[in-house]
């Protein structure tokens, strides 16, 4: 698992590395530190009601940990894990909590990776689009929830049950088999966009999860290869997703890396990104 100790171009804290030295090595402290560095861009309503200028909403497009750590450090140089007011955090989403946790874990020599899928514990009756971390332990990979506060009482945030968070392959397989009604897999039940629910979005998260397993921790609204905003998947796209999910379920790193070399899923140097709420795609040149 040494490969997951090394940073990706996205998780590398760069010039902010020294700022992370003061965070304790244990997982609970790292999780708590990540939870306190990000303010979710919609979970608590309009950010301007919490003291943020509207312009700071653009922070949700930050994709590199070095830039993401730099912003809260500039606002308040206290090390991660210290008490921090909301406006001294970055505006972001679940992917950002997770990327910062993964970055800090790797900085401290802990094998860690991001996982993209759907959580059943954020809204009763629904599986919401979500990103959590996965860390290596003597018993194998454990899911860690970096976003929620310590007083969340449904389960251990350092060992999320796999029936409560479905990684990309598991969510796709459950929807295809009928174990879960595909319409319950959504970004949000209130979003009236057919692409953002059901099999089309399950496929989207499947590909993003494959990228994350290959240390490409992408922004959730990134598009590349065959990814798009189709409301209905063509039969060949469904068959291809079945194939991806089957290989990903084996979790063999060698197979995952070979699978990621295919042109339809490999992250190219230039991608498209569609910032919420549904702006026109813009081209992004990756570092």
Average pLDDT score over residue span 44-68: 96
Q: Is the pLDDT of residue 142 over 80?
A: yes
Q: Are 119 and 222 in contact (CB under 8 A)?
A: no
What tokens were used for 207? 């590909």
pLDDT at 121: 98
* Mean pLDDT taken over the chain: 96
Q: How many domains does the chain contain in total? A: 1
Quote the domain boundaries for residue 138: 2-285
- pLDDT tens digit string along 177-222? 999 999 999 999 998 888 999 999 999 999 999 999 999 999 999 9
Rounded to 5°, the CA angle 287-195-173 comes to 90
Look-up of token digits 């319409």: 183
Whole-model pTM over 0.85: yes
Q: From CA 20, how far away is CA 32, in angstroms rounded? A: 13
- pLDDT tens digit string along 146-188? 999 999 999 999 999 999 999 999 999 999 999 999 999 999 9
Q: Is the pLDDT of residue 269 over 90?
A: yes
- pLDDT tens digit string along 110-124? 999 999 999 999 999
Q: Is the pLDDT of residue 280 over 90?
A: no
3-state class percentages of the chain: helix first, strand second, coil last, to nearest 5 = 40, 15, 45
CA proximity to 150, closest of 49, 42, 31, 37? 31
Q: From CA 146, how far away is CA 184, in angstroms rounded? A: 23
């Amino acid at each position: 698992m040494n490969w997951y100790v090394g940073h990706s171009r996205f998780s590398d804290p760069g010039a902010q590395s020294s700022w992370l030295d003061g965070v304790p090595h244990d997982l609970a402290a790292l999780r708590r530190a990540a939870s306190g560095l990000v303010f979710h861009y919609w979970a608590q309503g309009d950010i301007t009601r919490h003291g943020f200028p509207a312009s700071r909403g653009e922070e949700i497009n930050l994709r590199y940990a070095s830039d993401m750590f730099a912003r809260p450090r500039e606002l308040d140089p206290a090390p991660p894990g210290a008490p921090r007011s909301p406006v001294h955090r970055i505006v972001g989403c679940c992917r950002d909590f997770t990327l910062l946790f993964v970055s800090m874990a790797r900085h401290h020599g802990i094998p860690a990776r991001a996982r993209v899928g759907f959580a059943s514990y954020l809204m009763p009756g629904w599986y919401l689009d979500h990103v959590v971390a996965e860390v290596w332990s003597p018993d194998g990979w454990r899911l860690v929830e970096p976003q929620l506060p310590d007083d969340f009482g449904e389960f251990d945030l350092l060992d999320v049950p796999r029936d409560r968070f479905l990684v990309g392959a598991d969510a796709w397989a459950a929807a295809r088999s009928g174990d879960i009604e595909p319409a319950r897999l959504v970004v949000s039940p209130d979003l009236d966009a057919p692409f953002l629910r059901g099999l089309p979005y399950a496929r989207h998260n499947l590909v993003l999860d494959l990228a994350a397993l290959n240390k490409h921790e992408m922004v959730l609204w990134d598009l590349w290869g065959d990814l798009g905003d189709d409301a209905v998947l063509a039969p060949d796209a469904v068959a291809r997703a079945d194939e991806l999910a089957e290989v990903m379920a084996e979790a063999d790193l060698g197979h995952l890396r070979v699978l990621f070399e295919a042109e339809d899923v490999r992250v190219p140097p230039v991608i498209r990104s569609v910032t919420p709420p549904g702006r026109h795609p813009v081209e992004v040149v990756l570092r």
